[in-house]
Amino acid sequence: MSVPGGWPAGVGVLAVFAVACIGTWLARRYALAHRLIDQPGARRSHTVATPRGGGIAIVAAMVLALFLDTTWMASDRVPLAAVAIGLLLVAVVGWIDDHRPLSPWIRLAVHSVAAACLGGGLLLSGADEGVALAAAILALVLTNVWNFMDGIDGLAASQALLVALGCVVVGVGSRPLFLPLAMAAACAGFLPYNLPRARIFLGDVGSGALGYLLAALVALQAARAPSDAILLLLPLSAFLIDAALTLGRRVLHGERWWLPHTQHAYQRWARHCARHMLVTSAYAAWTAVMLLNLWVASGRGTPVKMLVLSGSFLVGAITWTWLQRTPHPPGDRE
C-alpha cells in the first residue's frame, strides 16, 4: 500500500505539527517544574536562564509520523522500524543527559548502536552494503553534529526544517514524501517556542534526534534513488563545514574537543553581534541558496554535481575562515 495522496497524508502532517506544538508547550511546563534549566556561562551563547528538553516533542511527533508511514508503506516497514528504534535510543540517552549529565563516551556508544540499527534496517530491506554502511556513518556523524551546533536560538531546528525540504526536492518522483514533510512540520511546531527569543531549548534529547532523523531521511532517499542523494550534502553543508573545521582546529591545537565550547563560527558571530536572529537568519539564507543549488544540479551529470558540491563547500570553508576572525570569546579555550 502506498502513502495515500490528498487528505490522509495531509491530515498526518497536520497531526505531527500539532503534536510538536502542544508537546513543546507541555515540555516547557515540565522543564520549569523539574528545574531543567540551562544557565548562562562562559561556554554558552545565551544570556538568560532557559528551560531545556523541548526536543522531546519533536521526538513524539516523529514517532507518530513513523508509525503512520509504517502503516501506509508495507514495503518499507523494516527500515522505518529500524529508524524508530534508533530514534528512541538517541532520544532516551539525550533525555537522561538533560536530567543528569552522562559521560560523552556513553552517549557515543548509544549513538553507535542507533546508527547500526539504521544501517542494519537498510541492509535487511535489500539496500546495497555500501549504502547501509554510509547510512550508519552518516547517522553517527549527524547525531553529534546537530548536538554540537545547537547553541543559539532557532538554529538547529530551522536548519533541520530546511534539510527536510531538501529531501522533498530530491525525493519528488522517487519516493513518498510524507516523512520529510512530517519532519518539516515537527520542526515548525517547535520553532515558535525557540524564536525569536527562545522560551525553551531543544536539549540533547532534541538535537541528537534531529541529526539522527535527517541521516535517516538521506539514507532512505539514497536506498530508493541514489543518483541525486549525494546532493543532500548541500543543505547539510552549513553545519557540516562549521562542525568539521572547528573540530579539526581544536584537535590540531590539542584541546579537549569533546567538552563544551564556543568556538564554532556561529557562536563567535552570535557573541560578537549579540543577535541570535541575525546569525540564524544568515545560516538559513545560506541553506536556502544550497537548496537552489540542489534543485539546479538534480538530474544533471556527475561532473555538474561534483562541481556544484565542491564549489559550495569551498565557499563555505572560506566563509568559516572569515567568521573565525571575529573576536575570541573570553574563557573559551580549555
Greatest Cα-to-Cα distance within the chain, rounded to the nearest angstrom: 58
Q: Which stretches of the chain are DSSP H helices?
A: 7-33, 55-72, 77-99, 104-124, 129-149, 155-171, 178-190, 203-224, 233-252, 265-273, 276-297, 302-323
Cell of 6: 490528498
Residues 205 and 128: their CA atoms lie apart, in Å, by: 31
Q: How many residues are given for the chain?
A: 334
- The residues facing 38 across adjacent strands are 50
* Residue 260 φ/ψ, nearest 5 degrees: -60, 150
Q: What is the pLDDT along the chain (334 residues), one digit of tens a residue?
A: 344 455 578 899 999 999 999 999 999 999 999 999 988 765 566 668 899 999 999 999 999 999 999 888 766 889 999 999 999 999 999 999 999 989 999 999 999 999 999 999 999 998 889 999 999 999 999 999 999 999 899 999 999 999 999 988 887 655 678 999 999 999 999 999 998 888 999 999 999 999 999 999 999 988 877 778 889 999 999 999 999 999 999 999 888 877 777 889 998 888 888 778 999 999 999 999 999 999 999 888 889 999 999 999 999 999 999 988 876 555 444 3
Helix (H, G, I), strand (E, B) or coil at 193: helix
Residues 50 and 309: their CA atoms lie apart, in Å, by: 38
Between vectors from CA 104 to CA 254 and to CA 239, what angle results, nearest 5°? 70
Q: Where are the domains of the chain?
A: 7-323
**Does the N-terminal peptide bond of residue 196 adopt cis geometry, omega within 30 degrees of 0?**
yes
Kindly report whether the global pTM for this prediction surpasses the value 0.85: yes
